[in-house]
Structure 1
Amino acid sequence: MPERAVVITRPRAQAESLAQAVTALGRRAVVLPLLEIAPLADTTLLRAALAQLPSYALVAFVSPNAVDAAFAHLAGWPAGVAIGVVGEGSRAALARHGITDENTTIHCPPDPAHSDSEHLLASLDLAAFAGRRVLIVRGESGRELMADTLRAAGAVVDTVAAYRRSVPALTPVLAAELSALLAQPNDWIITSSEALRGLAALVRQLDPAAGPARLAAQHLIVPHARIAETAQALGCSRVTLTGSGDVRILAALQS
């Protein structure tokens, strides 16, 4: 039997550094992107929103992809504009663009095990945003919880799409790779509920009869409680919840 692999399902651009770290642990890393991230065909609305950054009291980025897509159009960050992120991955993405706690106010859930919109909102003084403008930078679709909660607190909320995401099609190449990975127990790093639901759909398409059981036999390593809940709903019970950030994911692989 081949050695147990660590399957990294992040979009390819964010998978390589984690793959290198996994390899450095002496494990075999397999990069299998389950979400494809693409730039918008038309960035007019995104650039218009970014041009108004100084007028916002808070700009919330829903993912590292949102950070990278926005900063592709920015030369810097306006002084005094606070940022909200839901996890350590987005904080690391900001750091790559020179944005840290030392030069910008960054709001982030205090508990890495609960890196989501609910816990970001819980960490904010929502009343302080009453009558003030907030911008949410996200993909073309997404949850409305953050926008709805801030509006209920009296904030004037704008949302803008910064990128497109989609589950890959089941090509013959992907089908062969999936089939081989499901044929034995492996460790799967899943950092998105959407990616996990996409994986489950691909597996059902690949093998409607036995596929779901083969997926349920795999060990899933997830950074967020919401992804763990998605896994349970899909029948996957071998789940390790690490908390946000690659350091915690890598520690889970070593334990």
Structure 2
Amino acid sequence: MSKTGALLDKKVLVPRGKGQAKSFSQLVERYGGIPVEIPLIAFRPIAGNQRLQVCLEALDTYDWIIFTSNVTVETFFSFCDRDAAKLPKIAVIGKKTAEVLQERGIRPAFVPSAFVAEVFVEEFIPLVGPYAKILLPKGNLAREYIAASLMAVGAKVDEVVIYETYLPEESRLKLAQMLSRDELDILTFTSPSTVDHLMDVVKEYGLEEQLKNCIIGCIGPVTEKKLLEYGLQVHASPEQYTVKDMMESTVAYLENDGRMT
């Protein structure tokens, strides 16, 4: 079967907001699916972030800044207006995060070969001296793995929560309605937080049975682990952690499982 029309008008949950959903939705349409945009996660800066201001005033004392997501970059620079030449060296976890920085005229000094925390740490540690000072801005639900691993080899890491994640109320209501009517065929997840937020709705409205009718795809082993912790079956989890690979993996599952007929 050709990739065009491969999803056969199946309704695919696109868990991103309007600013990020366009390319995802276009990919779903390219495969013949119907994208349903329901943001499972939204972000807002932490108000009155005094700790960040202290760190920004001491920015010259840091050897590295680590950015783990596009949102981290955008939020950080809403607080910081420094010229790129006056910033410490920058490390990022993902390719997309690197691209967002490059749009600002900033070239990361380090990008790992795979876009997960474990690989980042393994490849980044050789670049970090035992007394390196590192600034790690992050969201309120971010893992502590990176900071803990770097501190274990003697680095000084200042973690600063600069934004919080939440599930928009309109998403909660739309998701509950569509799941209750079995109107979503494929659920996709891009982070553990998106899983937690959907499951909050599922538990609140008693929709566990409806999930059994859905095909589930995800990006990354941490997200997959979160789904499995909830007892959900993961049908598509590609080795490359991109939306495109996730959709291709989902199509492959559908074809191999015989659900295309």
TM-score bracket, normalised by the shorter chain, equals 0.7 to 0.9
CA deviation digits over 1:200-252, x for unaligned, max 9?
A: 12111112xxx223224322221201111111221221331122233423433
Counterpart among 235, 241, 247 of residue 237 in structure 2? 241
Give secondary structure in 1 for the equivalent of 2:161. strand
Give secondary structure in 2 for the equivalent of 1:240. coil
Equivalent in the alignment of 1:227 = 223
Counterpart among 35, 51, 58 of residue 29 in structure 1? 35
Matches within 5 A, 1:32-71: 32-71=38-77
Tell which structure's C-alpha radius of gyration is larger.
2
Counterpart among 93, 96, 99 of residue 89 in structure 1? 96
Counterpart among 221, 235, 249 of residue 252 in structure 1? 249
Q: Is the CA contact 1:54–1:78 (under 8 Å) kept in the aligned structure 2? A: no
CA deviation digits over 1:39-70, x for unaligned, max 9?
A: 22224433443444343222112222111211
Equivalent in the alignment of 1:155 = 155
Q: Aligned-pair RMSD on alpha carbons? A: 2.7
Point out where structure 2 has 5 or more consecutive residues left out of the alignment. 1-7, 253-261
Query: Does 2:156 align with 1:166?
Result: no
Give secondary structure in 1 for the equivalent of 2:48. coil
TM superposition shift of 1:12? 4.2
Q: Is the CA contact 2:13–2:184 (under 8 Å) kept in the aligned structure 1? A: no
Amino acid at match of 1:134: I
Counterparts of 1:239 and 1:197, CA distance in 2: 18
TM superposition shift of 1:185? 5.6
Q: Is the CA contact 1:60–1:85 (under 8 Å) kept in the aligned structure 2? A: yes
Q: Is the CA contact 1:7–1:30 (under 8 Å) kept in the aligned structure 2? A: yes
Structure 1 residues 145 and 20: CA distance shift in structure 2, 3 A: same
Amino acid at match of 1:105: A
Counterparts of 1:221 and 1:187, CA distance in 2: 7
Q: Is the CA contact 2:67–2:136 (under 8 Å) kept in the aligned structure 1? A: yes
Structure 1 residues 171 and 152: CA distance shift in structure 2, 3 A: closer
Give secondary structure in 1 for the equivalent of 2:84. coil
Q: Is the CA contact 1:218–1:238 (under 8 Å) kept in the aligned structure 2? A: no
Equivalent in the alignment of 1:177 = 178
Equivalent in the alignment of 1:197 = 196
Counterparts of 2:92 and 2:58, CA distance in 1: 19
Point out where structure 1 has 5 or more consecutive residues left out of the alignment. none
**TM-score normalised per structure 1:** 0.81
Q: Identity of aligned pairs, percent?
A: 21
Counterparts of 1:187 and 1:76, CA distance in 2: 44
Q: Is the CA contact 2:180–2:210 (under 8 Å) kept in the aligned structure 1? A: no
Amino acid at match of 1:179: S
Counterparts of 2:186 and 2:76, CA distance in 1: 32
Equivalent in the alignment of 1:107 = 111
Give secondary structure in 2 for the equivalent of 1:142. coil
Q: Is the CA contact 2:9–2:34 (under 8 Å) kept in the aligned structure 1? A: yes
Give secondary structure in 2 for the equivalent of 1:33. coil
Q: Is the CA contact 2:136–2:157 (under 8 Å) kept in the aligned structure 1? A: yes
Give secondary structure in 2 for the equivalent of 1:217. coil
Q: Is the CA contact 2:187–2:216 (under 8 Å) kept in the aligned structure 1? A: yes
CA deviation digits over 1:60-107, x for unaligned, max 9?
A: 1222211121123335423673323233332333233333xxx43123
Amino acid at match of 2:177: A
